[in-house]
Amino acid sequence: MINYQPLYQELIELKAEKWVDLIKPSLTEFFAQKAVINWLEIIEQLPKIKHVICDLNADVITIGDKSDLDEKKSHHFIEQLQLFHPWRKGPYNIFGHLIDTEWRSDWKWNRLKEHIAPLKNRLVLDVGCGSGYHCWRMLGADARMVVGIEPLSLNVIQFYVIKHLIGESPIYVLPIGLEQIPERIQVFDTVFSMGVLYHRRSPIDHLLELKNCLRSGGELILETLIIDGKNGEFLMPEGRYAKMRNVWFLPSCETLISWMERCGFKNCRLVDVNTTSIEEQKTTEWMRFHSLKDFLDPDNISLTCEGLPAPKRAIIIANAP
């Protein structure tokens, strides 16, 4: 359902044929999954409006207009979209319906967009991109091509839902992890890693893998959970953090920058620190499970339910040597 040939051609021209050879079997394996086959059948039944009007630069990504579907089709359309619950990254307005996702991902985008190098004509990689909300914003910022990588199948499928509605565009989300990118690929002008570092058992390896993807002088935008503290200080939860099992390292900003510099990154600069609010991450009809307010101490929202510092995030931008 998606033509990957333009992506393959781009990578071949950049002498990254080795990655193309790895992508193809990964996609074959992904599309052979029974759940994926069932999801794709639902996607093929979704409305396909020719020349649909889209706005990829709005906080709420807008696809089509309410007038594109009659009332009966519109009601059925929403029922179909709910089959892909939970919707975590957004928001979207699709044919006049607000997909009120768990995260206000536009808030993160607005915090960083004025600090990054212009994306116009750049080849961009978004690591752990989820359903691709930020990928669409990157394309809206005139990136030449955007590649997202995301290991969770449902997130990839949600991207396919949006791409089905928008139509052909130079944006791809691949069902792979960062470790499946070959060494010394060094082809991307800009690499984003947002909300990934703290899930990695080795943050140093993650930083080196990110550097591996960037051309010389290319830009890394790193967003992650941090703690207040001095250089050398970090939190490694003994058990869960905000009910998440897979949180390993929360460094101070100074510690994180020192890690990045040790890995060879240049011009490391802290551009934003923000405490995550229950307005930015919340339960909605499109994500009906527990969310941030359920993960905090009800008597002291500056702490998680485990008694650890509540989620605070930093954005650091740096350049590959």
Please, what's the b/e burial string for 123-160 (b: 16 or more CB within 10 A of its CB; e: otherwise)? Answer: bbbbbbbbbbbbbbbbbbbebebbbbbbeeebbbbbbb
pLDDT of residue 1: 67
* Structure-token pair, residue 54: 């889209």
Residue pair 101/87 in contact (Cβ under 8 Å)? The answer is yes
Residue span of the structural domain in which 180 resides: 5-319
Backbone angles phi, psi at 99, to 5 degrees: -90, 95
In the three-class reduction of DSSP (H, G, I as helix; E, B as strand; rest coil), residue 302 is classed as strand
- Rounded to whole angstroms, how far apart are CA atoms 108 and 85? 22
What count of residues does the chain have? Answer: 321
Is the pTM above the cut of 0.95? Answer: yes
8 Å CB contact between 74 and 93: no
Spatial separation of the C-alpha atoms in residues 43 and 39, rounded to whole Å: 6
Q: What is the pLDDT along the chain (321 residues), one digit of tens a residue?
A: 689 999 999 999 999 999 999 999 999 999 999 999 999 999 999 998 888 899 999 999 999 999 999 999 999 999 999 999 999 999 999 999 999 999 999 999 999 999 999 999 999 999 999 999 999 999 999 999 999 999 999 999 999 999 999 999 999 999 999 999 999 999 999 999 999 999 999 999 999 999 999 999 999 999 999 999 999 999 999 999 999 999 999 999 999 999 999 999 999 999 999 999 999 999 999 999 999 999 999 999 999 999 999 999 999 999 999
**How many domains is the chain built from?**
1
Strand partners, 148: 126, 173
* Phi, psi (deg, nearest 5) at residue 248: -110, -55
Quote the pLDDT of residue 146. 98
DSSP assignment string, 240-283: -BTTBS----EEBHHHHHHHHHHTT-EEEEEEEEEEPPTTTB--
Cβ atoms of 192 and 126 within 8 Å: the answer is yes
Strands (E), the chain: 54-55, 61-63, 89-90, 92-94, 97-99, 103-104, 123-127, 145-149, 171-174, 188-194, 214-226, 234-235, 250-251, 266-275, 296-297, 300-304, 312-319
Here the CATH number for the domain that contains residue 125 is 3.40.50.150
The pLDDT score that the predictor gives to residue 49 is 85
